[in-house]
Amino acid sequence: MGKTLAEKVWEDHVVRSAAGEPDLLYIDLHLIHEVTSPQAFDGLRLSGRKVRRPELTLATEDHNVPTLDIDKPIADPVSRLQVDTLRKNCAEFGVRIHSLGDIEQGIVHVVGPQLGITQPGMTIVCGDSHTSTHGAFGALAFGIGTSEVEHVLATQTLPLTKPKMMAVNVEGKLKPGVTSKDIILAVIAQISTGGGQGYILEYRGSAIRELSMEARMTICNMSIEAGARAGLIAPDEITFEYIKGRPHAPKGADWDAALAYWKTLKSDADAKFDKEIFLNADELSPFVTWGTNPGQGVPLNDAVPIPESFGDEQERRAAESALVYMDLKAGTPMREIKIDTVFLGSCTNGRIEDLRSAAAIIKGKKVASNTRMLVVPGSARVRLQAEAEGLDKVFLEFGAEWRSAGCSMCLGMNPDQLKPGERSASTSNRNFEGRQGKGGRTHLVSPLVAAATAIKGTLASPADL
């Protein structure tokens, strides 16, 4: 019987397999940041252990760094200690780090692909659930907790039980104004936030094959929002073209050997998936969330749903409490919802294509009165590229704030937060209660919807302008 892509990558990394025990998998790349690593390094010190393979480990500062005044010491002493701790740990254990102010600094999931260090067929882990992003390259990539971070640091392996396999088939052609963000929000609305639990998702079909690497990363990024630890896409010419020539891409004979291997990385025609779901790309329109989990989304053309319309009692109760938190009335057209803050950024939609597509919509216009827009590039390089293209001026003339790279308002850990009761349209990945700041209300949107919303002051798509 044939194998799925994920099974092939899995099997290529098994160090040890024993009946009744998890497989021991080798980890090709371990990404690290300041929030989920300090206790892991402490653990190493306590047991007198070293980092087994520093040359397969890479650290960057992203979650808890400011996006203003990055040339000054971090104002919050607790945040400063956390960032300093990462720097000290990396120095002590010989780990490469890209600190604030470094040209390679940025959100860990933007930095890896940008360096060409994320490649097909790899196993990639990080103490961050959005590590699934790297699956866009046909890598098996997933988030881990701090105990596992310590395990990978010490052994370069991880004991894991093989998940089940789910195929997410997206056939057809996206209409103009519809993006990969809308695909993944529609997938999550279809299978719910728990639908992917215990599975690895493989996104397939004609609509996926046509996407750029950055658009594919947006989809894989939010696999965890469907409950799946990992999601991946078979590598193809678009993938190889993206990697070629990047700093850490293989060169010469290594490139040929790598390419020959990468071309084997696809699910066999007779591979068996434990579950399959289907989505028609032709029918998709811009998608937005109304509730407090990423599965609570509807097309922008629709209205806030009526809780009684949910057959499942748990879902009905969840909808009722979400409407209270979000201060929304059932039946309100989504387009009538007023937005205070538009956030463009994050590991989901903070790449150069995202900034370009939003800039093209707002160019020559002004931000709606009573609405503010925050633009946070995913990495220092994305910021520099955008500035080289003059996008910073487009955003600034529009009335948006142009910031330095980091996770920023996606998780509200640094000073970039919503105030209680404030409502955002955000290109990030989670609309959880209080995620972007205590009492803040989040609607997840694509960069195109974010841009149109910043112009109108209410949820909108470019077609509404």
Q: Write out the binding residues for other proteins, residues 46-85 only, by CB under 8 A.
A: 47, 49, 52, 54-58, 63-64, 76, 78-79, 81-82, 85
Whole-number minimum distance, CB 1 to other proteins, in Å?
25
Q: Is the CB of residue 329 less than 8 Å from the CB of residue 416?
A: no
* 371 backbone dihedrals φ, ψ, rounded to 5°: -120, 140
Q: List binders of other proteins among 396-425 (CB under 8 A).
A: 411-413
Of 199, 189, 66, 75, nearest to 142 by C-alpha is 199
Residue 365 CB, shortest distance to other proteins, in Å, is 33
Of residues 122 and 362, the one with the C-beta less far from other proteins: 122
- Exactly one of 2, 11, 22, 324 binds other proteins (CB under 8 A); which one? 22
What pairing do the DSSP bridges indicate for beta strands 14-16 and 23-26? antiparallel
Nearer to other proteins by C-beta: 126 or 454?
Answer: 126
Is position 91 an interface residue for other proteins (rule: CB under 8 A)?
no
Residues 268-297 contacting other proteins, CB under 8 A: 292-293
Cβ atoms 232, 201 nearer than 8 A: yes
Minimum Å gap between C-beta 72 and other proteins is 18
Restricted to residues 170-199, the positions that interact with other proteins (CB under 8 A) are 193-194, 197-198
Q: Does 157 bind other proteins (CB under 8 A)?
A: yes
By CB atoms closer than 10 A (0-12, 13-18, 19+), residue 93 is middle
Size of the site for other proteins (CB under 8 A): 90
Give yes or no for a contact between 410 and 347, defined as CB atoms under 8 angstroms apart. Answer: yes
Q: Which of 3, 87, 93, 116 binds other proteins (CB under 8 A)?
A: 116
Q: Given the rule CB under 8 A, which of 26-34, 267-275, 329-337, 449-457 is the region that contacts other proteins?
A: 26-34
Using an 8 Å Cβ cutoff, are 45 and 82 in contact?
A: no
Q: In the set 103, 306, 324, 465, which binds other proteins (CB under 8 A)?
A: 103
| Helix ranges (DSSP H) in 327-464 | 346-349, 352-362, 380-388, 391-398, 447-456
Nearest residue (CB) to other proteins, 55 versus 237: 55
Nearer to other proteins, 79 or 427 (CB): 79
User: What gap in Å lies between CA 366 and CA 138, rounded to an integer?
Assistant: 40
39 binds other proteins (CB under 8 A): yes
Task: Please count the CA atoms within 13 angstroms of the CA of 351 that sit on its side-chain side.
Answer: 22
What span, in angstroms and rounded, lies between the C-alpha atoms of 246 and 59? 19
Q: Which of 4, 5, 7, 28 binds other proteins (CB under 8 A)?
A: 28
Q: Does 35 help bind other proteins (rule: CB under 8 A)?
A: yes
Residue found by looking up tokens 């080798």 in the block = 26
User: 10 Å Cβ neighbour count for 394?
Assistant: 23
Contact between 16 and other proteins (CB under 8 A)? yes
CB 297 within 8 A of CB 290: yes
Decide whether 247 or 331 has the Cβ nearer to other proteins: 247
Residue 457 CA, chain-centre distance (Å), reads: 26
Q: How far is the CB of 13 from other proteins (least distance, A)?
A: 8
Write the CB contacts of 374 (distance below 8 Å, at least 6 apart in sequence): 341, 342, 343, 344, 345, 400, 401, 403, 408, 409, 416
Q: How far apart are the first and last CA of the chain?
A: 52
- Positions 353 through 392 that interact with other proteins (CB under 8 A): none
Among 4, 5, 9, 36, binds other proteins (CB under 8 A): 36
What residues from 208 to 267 belong to the interface with other proteins (CB under 8 A)? 224, 227-229, 247-250, 254-255, 257-258, 261
Stretch that binds other proteins, among 154-162, 168-176, 212-220, 394-402 (CB under 8 A): 154-162
Cβ proximity to other proteins, 25 vs 445, nearer residue: 25
The nearer residue to other proteins, 261 or 278, going by C-beta atoms, is 261
| CA-to-CA separations, 198 to 25, 163, 188, 194, 430, in angstroms, rounded | 17, 5, 15, 9, 20
Q: How far is the CB of 202 from other proteins (least distance, A)?
A: 17
Place of tokens 């910031």: 403
Interface with other proteins includes 27 (CB under 8 A)? no
The nearest distance, CB 51 to other proteins, in angstroms, is: 11
* CA gap 347, 395 in Å, rounded: 20
| Spatial separation of the C-alpha atoms in residues 448 and 357, rounded to whole Å | 7
Question: Interface residues for other proteins in 300-339 (CB under 8 A)?
Answer: 314, 317-318, 321
Based on CB atoms, which residue is closest to other proteins, 51 or 234? Answer: 51
